[in-house]
Amino acid sequence: MPVNEKLWRKRREEAYKRLWEDLEIGYLDEDLLDILLEFFKRPESYTTSSCSGRIVVVDSRMPWERRDATIIFKKHAPISLDEIKDLLKQPVLYRLWLVASGPIIHVVTLTAKEALKVLRIAREAGFKHSGVMSASRKGYLVELRTGIRLAVLLKTPNGLVVNEQGLNEVVKAVNEALIEGKKRLNRLLEALRRHSIK
Amino acid sequence: MPVNEKLWRKRREEAYKRLWEDLEIGYLDEDLLDILLEFFKRPESYTTSSCSGRIVVVDSRMPWERRDATIIFKKHAPISLDEIKDLLKQPVLYRLWLVASGPIIHVVTLTAKEALKVLRIAREAGFKHSGVMSASRKGYLVELRTGIRLAVLLKTPNGLVVNEQGLNEVVKAVNEALIEGKKRLNRLLEALRRHSIK
């Protein structure tokens, strides 16, 4: 299953174009730009979908389920107590989850060697749950991921789960989680620069 | 970086011996035995550390931190409300988290082809966060992992976060998460048998 280099180069060019389009329309997390560019400086890597970390409120049976899930709030920056309080006034269908996730970056490499190199750099920067997810003629897909994740139950159809003072503590914790994610991004940027290909 | 086949075979034998020792001393999750044996039936795979999924209560700043973390409860089966209520009476140093995690299985393969094959089987069974974590002369390390994970804040030094009725709902949710993990294990066993090497 060798990688089709021509196809890989074509996809890389498209991804690079999309990066600048996404930036222009404000779709790209600016926290990520420097890191993504650092990957594009590597001749055998490019990035596709990425997220700098986020806080989401979702109504679903379980926070990892997509089916019957309704995202009612999403933010890539710290949240305030009032933002969440407003959401808690609404009725709940399944369960209301407050989820904080660390950054996720998808890198497609031309060779297995480069995939493993990227993995090592990522692990060094605290992206401990990173791995090669698949390999095909399109390249090696490497997912860079930290262990940062909170999924707190806020409310069910039976009422609130968290008390008044508790909500304060929960908001503090998810904000800390988000900031921890941004710190790992900084560490990743530094690690990439240290291991840059001259 | 070719795999040292002799070393790989030696490690495989040791892992197989350890599997039966762990079973004997009750250290091995019995839910996992059939799956681990199914991997050992594949000539180019063996398993190392594995967990069928668990519920943990940990006192730590963040649930993913190991430093300064104290695990005060751990169970591989559903929990009762009373078990958690007892823990809530104790003082808290940082934060008290109730964490439910899905199964994790580590597979070491002899070849890249087998690593990718195992990945495909795992993904088919709902182990969507699986990946090749590293590759060395010892083999390809494949981590099989679902997206199942809850990390609920129960208590801080300022007091309880979850109210009385809410605790009930939280316990229900973490038990559901655990059971969902066991179901994925069953799906993995079926998928492995479908793709077994004759």
Q: What is the pLDDT of residues B21-77, one digit of tens each?
A: 988 888 787 779 999 999 999 999 999 989 999 999 999 999 999 889 999 999 999
Q: What are the pLDDT digits (tens) for B66-124?
A: 889 999 999 999 999 999 999 999 999 999 999 999 999 999 999 999 999 999 999 99
Local confidence band at A25 (pLDDT 50, 70, 90 cut-offs): confident
CB contact under 8 A, A166 and B169: no
Nearest to B169 among A143, A158, A166 (CB): A158
Q: How far is CA A93 from CA A61, A182, B80, B145, in A?
A: 9, 32, 25, 28
CB contact under 8 A, B63 and A150: yes
In the three-class reduction of DSSP (H, G, I as helix; E, B as strand; rest coil), residue B96 is classed as: strand
For residue A109, give both structure tokens: 């490499």
Q: What are the pLDDT digits (tens) for B123-154?
A: 999 999 999 999 999 999 999 999 999 999 99
Q: How far is CA A173 from CA A145, B7, B60, B98, in A?
A: 19, 45, 12, 14
CB contact under 8 A, A165 and B153: no
* ipTM of the complex model: 0.90
Residue B135: its chain A contacts at CB < 8 A? 112, 116
Number of H helices, E strands in chain A: 5, 9
Give the type of residue at B75: K
Supply the pLDDT for residue A65. 94
